[in-house]
Structure 1
């Protein structure tokens, strides 16, 4: 066994209806003044009001920041930090999708530590300390509730990550009932995102790829592969929703310790420049990166195939695995080509150049990616 480290959330609460435990948990672990970070869309669903009622009945004062947007820019993060400071928050709750939880992580860190956001981009730059932090995901995709990563859009289009064990929440509360009303296209995109996390964690060439992450990735793919179509096309199926949320969390634990690679590196510029949701950005390049990696991943993709596609008999080649994944993306209703989401062909060189800046991710890919390779992958995806 080679040496490795594995970090994850210290406390996990999961199960249908477990949002009802929020007040008790917050009173015991967070204290009397809490900043809740979310987005305006979730407020409209009534889920935030329900959480506020539970917290207020427990005697907790709550200040809500609902200005989170997809791929949150720096100014959103700083506005949330300023609001939490003005409220004198003693703890933070991230409630929503990956963007809300990512912002909440940074609020908990920056309010307490006083660090400057531009100074902590990268791996291990954040020094802390931070406020107590609880994460409640309402999508089954990012796994942010168990990861040490927050992604921020800097400048006009570039995405940068803050990566530090300090960002792992103290508590993750997973209630699949909160995901039942997710629209089909969001369910599909976030579900594929979670599958990408598991696939890339399993095949990562990071020195910290480890047997725990591999085991979690396999189980994540078993849950996700067997339930994503059901969750997309029959959204009220609570068993499918629960399986997706658990699979997403397991995939998050896997890639939090065995980092993702080229799919994410090529997806980030798509979201940054064209506003394509992160999960869909991943799906658009996923089959093409799998095909590119096939020569280096013949055995590993064959190992993963039965977990995603249990009905296939015999050994599945890496090429067949890539085609099967492309077919799955189509069956859950995701657009197959970059042109389908409004990306012009003359933008591909720019996307390739930006993807090559994601060195933190590309170093983990099982096959080295050059600028020419990135351009070819985008051309294939266009």
Structure 2
């Protein structure tokens, strides 16, 4: 695509041990009262306390909201906004995985807004200015720290996305120390989520562009080259840092080029069965990519050289097949369940999920390289049941 607009945060800091700088960074944004938005697990492991200590040391008053839930329900977002208002926050720190970071974005925007969150669903519909915002990921997966989107679960139990340039943070802070010791299955699922971001950005039918392409292939270099290392050894700090960088680049790529059918099919698995987002993507990635192969072979072949460096392929068809096969083998090798039935999904659930995808998530299917109808979506679910 020749004409495009690329959005990114003004500053990215990648520094091992960088969480200790959160206070001086927030002070530089003029903040005096900061609230850290996270989940209970991040609070329990001490990361939120470390952030508060750094903020306090820089002269700020700080507190924590630690009730974020996966696939954040709108009611939890509202509770976080209310907590921030009651505290009198004038700066927000998002700390954790994608759900915490997405919640933090909305808190920063909604705290002084009277606009109902339901009016923000879609693109460029949010109004008002957000508070200063710093995003600190603790997983290498969502890339939410550099995106201008926030995904929530509506009161009708549907995933809804808000796209707004106001959601881009002032600073994205990548500290690989925060990812050390992450369980292998969480590491694997998060990494596969980031790899899907890179792949779907590169194959996007509607918004693919030269900047997102460049970021996507570098992201795949970093992610593919380190995923097995971090799954095997949770203490490899250099590999962990590389994964955070790959996730960040993939996040920049996909938010500007868009994701597609893999994400569309993963959404009902998250809202209905509470399967973690990265794992949901991993479950349906292989079938969707094989469905796309007739029209995406060229792009898959190009990506094969980054996932399988040094391999020599007879032709584009062989390269594309090797690329998809390698991803399927990767999913099978990292210890995640590979069948929907292992996670509570039954054949009876498939028709309604397929309807939800083709009716309610058409915005993502429109970006997919190949058109997909409800019967085809049901078949893809069935392939991994």
> So what's the TM-score if we normalise by structure 1?
0.98
- Counterpart-to-counterpart distance in 2, 1:114 and 1:144: 25
- Counterpart-to-counterpart distance in 1, 2:170 and 2:208: 24
- Counterpart-to-counterpart distance in 2, 1:293 and 1:260: 14
In structure 2, the residue corresponding to 1:136 is in which secondary structure?
strand
Match of 2:77 in 1: 77
Structure 1, 270-279 or 333-342: larger mean CA deviation = 333-342
2:382 alignment partner, one of 369, 379, 382: 379
Q: CA RMSD in A?
A: 1.1
CA shift digits 1:203-225 (9 cap, x unpaired): 0011x311010000000000000
In structure 1, the residue corresponding to 2:172 is in which secondary structure?
strand
The equivalences for 1:83-122 within 5 A come to: 83-122=83-122
Residues 378, 50 of structure 1: CA spacing in aligned structure 2 closer, same or farther, 3 A cutoff? same
Residues 189, 70 of structure 1: CA spacing in aligned structure 2 closer, same or farther, 3 A cutoff? same
Match of 1:289 in 2: 288
Match of 1:355 in 2: 357
Assess if the C-alpha contact under 8 Å between 1:102 and 1:144 holds in 2: yes
- Counterpart-to-counterpart distance in 1, 2:329 and 2:30: 45
The equivalences for 1:1-382 within 5 A come to: 2-206=2-206, 208-314=207-313, 315=315, 316-356=318-358, 357-382=360-385
The runs of 4+ residues in structure 1 deviating greater than 6 Å are: none
In structure 2, the residue corresponding to 1:8 is in which secondary structure?
coil
- Counterpart-to-counterpart distance in 1, 2:115 and 2:172: 25
- Counterpart-to-counterpart distance in 2, 1:313 and 1:325: 17
Structure 1, 337-346 or 136-145: larger mean CA deviation = 337-346
User: Could you list the runs of 5+ residues in structure 2 that have no partner in the other structure?
Assistant: none
User: Could you list the runs of 5+ residues in structure 1 that have no partner in the other structure?
Assistant: none
Assess if the C-alpha contact under 8 Å between 1:210 and 1:258 holds in 2: yes
In structure 1, the residue corresponding to 2:112 is in which secondary structure?
helix
> So what's the TM-score if we normalise by structure 2?
0.97
- Counterpart-to-counterpart distance in 2, 1:115 and 1:169: 20
- Counterpart-to-counterpart distance in 2, 1:16 and 1:45: 18
In structure 2, the residue corresponding to 1:219 is in which secondary structure?
helix
- Counterpart-to-counterpart distance in 2, 1:320 and 1:128: 48
